[in-house]
Amino acid sequence: MTNYSKILTKVVRISSLLTLSLSSIQAHAQLDKSKTYIVGTEATYAPYEYLNAKGELEGFDIDLVNYICKEIGIKCQVVNQSFEGLIPNLNYKKIDLAIAGFHPTKNRIKVVSFSDEYLPKTPNYYVVYKPAGFSSAQELKTVGTQIGTSQAAYLEQKTSYKVVKYDTNDLAYLDLAAKRIDAYLLDATVAKQTLAANSNFALLQPAVNDDIFGLSGPAIAVKKGNKDLLAAINQAIAKAKSSGYIEQLKAKYKID
């Protein structure tokens, strides 16, 4: 490489960094720093979000969104609500952003905007109750899912199972242990945490993969048109990745 080429390469890199920094500054400048931004989540989805022994919100997503809000320079309040209500509440401006192990899907991106992914996409698994004796998905008849999830869409559109929908995962686990459902379909990260807390549960192999579960890994949702907030969130996610903070959270919450 000639000296001229080296200089040109450095100029391009510096220009790109300046453009990135300028766009970040502009996005941050457009945000209303006087308001409290309401963050919606649904706290029965460990390790992403859950209630600890004190009844406080905890989890990977909770730590990440607090980091993002601090990085952006805005005050945030995280509120626990139904998963099904997150997108409507964004569009009715009852919340400003939503984080809940949320995967962008073809239907969701039509009504809200999503940030860049903050974790890679993972497969899904059928969680079963060991004493029930199921060894393959072909043996299942009744499968549970949470209302409003991509798992619910998959079961309804691409299987012939009888589908039982639940407001929260915790309610489904009770029915699974009572043999009122044969299995419960979950994201791999959540499924593995569920097994760690319930020794009588097991995963059916193989994993379930389909585009209906999401176009990418989990991301943060905002109301369509909220470009400044979305740009600021993406900048903060990029920094969380480059600084190693995402890896720290993965280790803390035992995410592969």
CATH number of the CATH domain containing 168: 3.40.190.10
Range of the domain at 90: 36-121+215-253
Residue in the block written with tokens 């509440």: 89
Of the candidates 222, 220, 237, 247, the residue with the CA atom closest to the CA atom of residue 68 = 237
| Residue 21 located in a structural domain | no
Can you give the pTM of this predicted structure? 0.87
48 with 116, same domain? yes
| Residue 28 located in a structural domain | no
Tens digits of residue pLDDT in 53-76: 999 999 999 999 999 999 999 999
108 with 180, same domain? no
Number of structural domains found in the chain: 2
230 with 191, same domain? no
79 with 198, same domain? no
| Residue 228 located in a structural domain | yes
56 with 106, same domain? yes
141 with 81, same domain? no
Tens digits of residue pLDDT in 165-206: 999 999 999 999 999 999 999 999 999 999 999 999 999 999
187: left (phi over 0), alpha (psi -120 to 50) or beta: beta
Of the candidates 222, 217, 185, the residue with the CA atom closest to the CA atom of residue 201 = 185
| Residue 17 located in a structural domain | no
98 with 224, same domain? yes
| Residue 2 located in a structural domain | no
114 with 236, same domain? yes
